[in-house]
């Protein structure tokens, strides 16, 4: 079985029961001119994940292993957006890439470099966590999933929420430091430390080259 050099301990996974999860790599979070940047954020802290993640996805796909993508967003009529989230502004308003975080809009979709292939599930989620109000749990069951390799943005928001949800559901989660990003370097550092602290309180942390090396060694 592939074994990855990880914190706080090596992470071993079976390729038959491990899914690569790619969280919210959407234009509105990642690209200059998008929603994230309009809030004053430095999107380069997120866009640096695109290159290593595209390399990892290629290695994962080369072995016909499953990838699941998520997107945060809402119906055009905002019926699935809690008033409390709406009240904080942005959602549904006109941005430079269309209505912000509305399904079907250009900014809501995934960046060109990481577009899903036909057959790879794309989970549209209204919240930060990928399990809340989605069919992710059913899809993971169908794949026979036991472990998740987690990537995407942002580290302390949608990645953390999803990893915490997954951990409580019994999935072992390996989070890849070079393939997750926060607008805030301090949150990136502490967010990753939180996961692996206390003996891996809700997961493991490694870098993507270690996963690729582990995949290649087990061939």
Q: Which stretch binds ligand TIU (CB under 6 A): 11-19, 77-85, 151-159, 201-209?
A: 151-159
Q: Does 158 bind ligand TIU (CB under 6 A)?
A: yes
Smallest separation (angstroms) from ligand TIU to the CB of 72: 5
Tell me how far apart the alpha carbons of residues 65 and 59 are, in angstroms, rounded to a whole number.
Answer: 9
User: Residue-wise over 194-204: b if at least 16 C-beta within 10 A, else e?
Assistant: bbbeeebebbb
Smallest separation (angstroms) from ligand TIU to the CB of 17: 26
- Clarify whether 147 is annotated catalytic: no
Closest to ligand TIU by CB, 145 vs 155, is 155
Closest to ligand TIU by CB, 22 vs 158, is 158
Tell me how far apart the alpha carbons of residues 60 and 15 are, in angstroms, rounded to a whole number.
Answer: 10
Q: Which of 72, 105, 165, 178 binds ligand TIU (CB under 6 A)?
A: 72
> Hey, how many other C-beta atoms are within 10 angstroms of the C-beta on 106?
15
Angle of helix 208-217 relative to helix 50-62, nearest 10 degrees, comes to: 20
Q: Does 175 bind ligand TIU (CB under 6 A)?
A: no
125, 128, 172, 179: which is the annotated catalytic residue? Answer: 125
Longest dimension (CA), the chain: 52
Q: Do the Cβ atoms of 9 and 204 come closer than 8 Å?
A: yes
Q: Contact positions toward ligand TIU, by CB under 6 A?
A: 24, 29, 72, 128, 153-154, 157-158
């Amino acid at each position: 079985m592939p074994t990855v050099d990880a914190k706080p301990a090596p992470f071993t996974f079976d390729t038959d029961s491990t899914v690569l999860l790619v969280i919210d790599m959407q234009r509105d979070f990642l690209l200059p001119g998008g929603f994230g940047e309009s809030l004053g954020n430095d999107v380069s802290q997120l866009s640096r994940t695109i290159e290593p993640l595209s390399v990892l996805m290629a290695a994962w796909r080369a072995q016909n292993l499953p990838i699941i993508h998520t997107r945060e967003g809402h119906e055009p009529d905002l019926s699935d957006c809690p008033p409390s989230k709406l009240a904080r502004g942005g959602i549904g308003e006109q941005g430079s890439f269309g209505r912000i975080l509305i399904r079907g809009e250009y900014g809501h979709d995934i960046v060109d470099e990481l577009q899903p292939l036909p057959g790879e599930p794309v989970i549209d989620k209204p919240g930060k966590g990928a399990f809340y109000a989605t069919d992710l749990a059913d899809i993971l069951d169908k794949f026979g999933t036991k472990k998740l390799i987690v990537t995407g943005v942002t580290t302390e928001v949608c990645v953390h929420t999803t990893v915490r949800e997954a951990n409580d559901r019994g999935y072992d989660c390996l989070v890849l430091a070079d393939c997750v990003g926060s607008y805030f370097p301090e949150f990136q550092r502490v967010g990753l430390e939180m996961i692996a602290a206390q003996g891996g309180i809700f997961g493991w942390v490694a870098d993507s080259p270690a996963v690729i090396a582990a995949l290649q060694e087990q061939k």
